Amino acid sequence: MRHPRLGVAILTMGNRPAELADLLASVAGQDTPAARVVVVGNGSPLPPLPDGVTGVELPENLGVSGGRNVALARLREFGDVDVVVDLDDDGLLVSRNVFTRLTALYAEDDRLGVVSFRIADERGRTQRRHIPRLRATDPMRGGLVTTFLGGGHGLSMRMLDQVGGWPEPFFYAHEETDLAWRALDAGWKVLYAPELVLQHPWTSPTRHAVFHRMVARNRVWLAKRHLPAPLVPVYLGVWAVLTVARTRSAAGLRAWFGGFAEGVRTPCPPRRPMRWATVWRMTRLGRPPVI
């Protein structure tokens, strides 16, 4: 891909106007400018935006997947975007060369589908859960992976045209893995590039019961949509055991198992099992689709 043009997509719920303003300033300060910047108010009005930034206000919260699909559709309408950069509204690009490095990565590899940024707090610390691979002790070890981070990443528009956008029924949780698995099955690469940093506040992954329910339900939907039939019970069994071992909250466990049951009894089409060749490819990358 020669000289890919970047389009930036940011979702906000209107509760972080100062952080959003700082993020937009860091986007504007990049050495390689974005061709387009779209901010979606996900069920909320937008604050005043800088000149050149396109705002879209949605009457209701469509979730991460739905809101990002709206931003993606708006960027497609412009017709001059090759790579979509999704950024959390409370993130910050602390280096001016993030977009320069990102465009170089896409220019070098025509089959690069997804580039995952490293998420680090203001002290430079990266939480283990923000490293998109197993053996996550070293956040600076990059390379090809099987999923990516929702807070900061690049997506090839050609890849999205082939495999489709975000899974809207998911609302939020595991939507990145759903997209990554489709990309891998279509022959695209997913790269973790730790030199591309999005600064983000240190957060807890388990904030409320809805989180547990959505994580469990979407985990089941992910398996039902994409895994070969023999792997579905293995994948879900492994994650049930891990969840029981890791979760210290009885209320959280109840919510998780309620979401798990919801995922089992409800459909989330379409079902398009990945090829066994993709299973083997993911295994060679260090994360077979059973964990």
> Could you report the per-residue pLDDT of 204-246, keeping only the tens digit for each?
665 678 899 999 999 999 999 999 999 999 999 999 999 999 8
Low-confidence ranges of the chain (pLDDT < 70): 1, 204-207
| Residue in this structure with the two tokens 């009894």, named with its chain if needed | 265
**Residue among 164, 168, 132 at smallest CA distance from 149:** 132
Backbone angles phi, psi at 69, to 5 degrees: -65, -35
Instruction: Give the pLDDT of residue 197.
Output: 98
> Could you report the per-residue pLDDT of 169-201, keeping only the tens digit for each?
999 999 999 999 999 999 999 999 999 999 999
How does the average pLDDT of the chain come out, rounded? 95
10 - beta bridge partners? 39, 87
Q: Report pTM.
A: 0.96
Instruction: Give the pLDDT of residue 3.
Output: 84
Cis bond before residue 270 (omega within 30° of 0)? yes
Task: For residue 45, give the 3-state DSSP assignment.
Answer: coil
Helix (H), strand (E) at residue 75? helix 63-78
| Residue in this structure with the two tokens 């979760």, named with its chain if needed | 247
Chain centroid to CA 220: how far?
18
**Residue among 108, 77, 93 at smallest CA distance from 32:** 93
> Parallel, antiparallel, or unpaired for β 83-87 and 6-12?
parallel
Who contacts 51 (Cβ-Cβ below 8 Å, separation ≥6)? none
Query: Domain spans of the chain?
Result: 6-199, 209-284
| Residue in this structure with the two tokens 């001016």, named with its chain if needed | 96
Q: What is the CATH number of domain 6-199?
A: 3.90.550.60
125, 202 contact by CB (below 8 A): yes
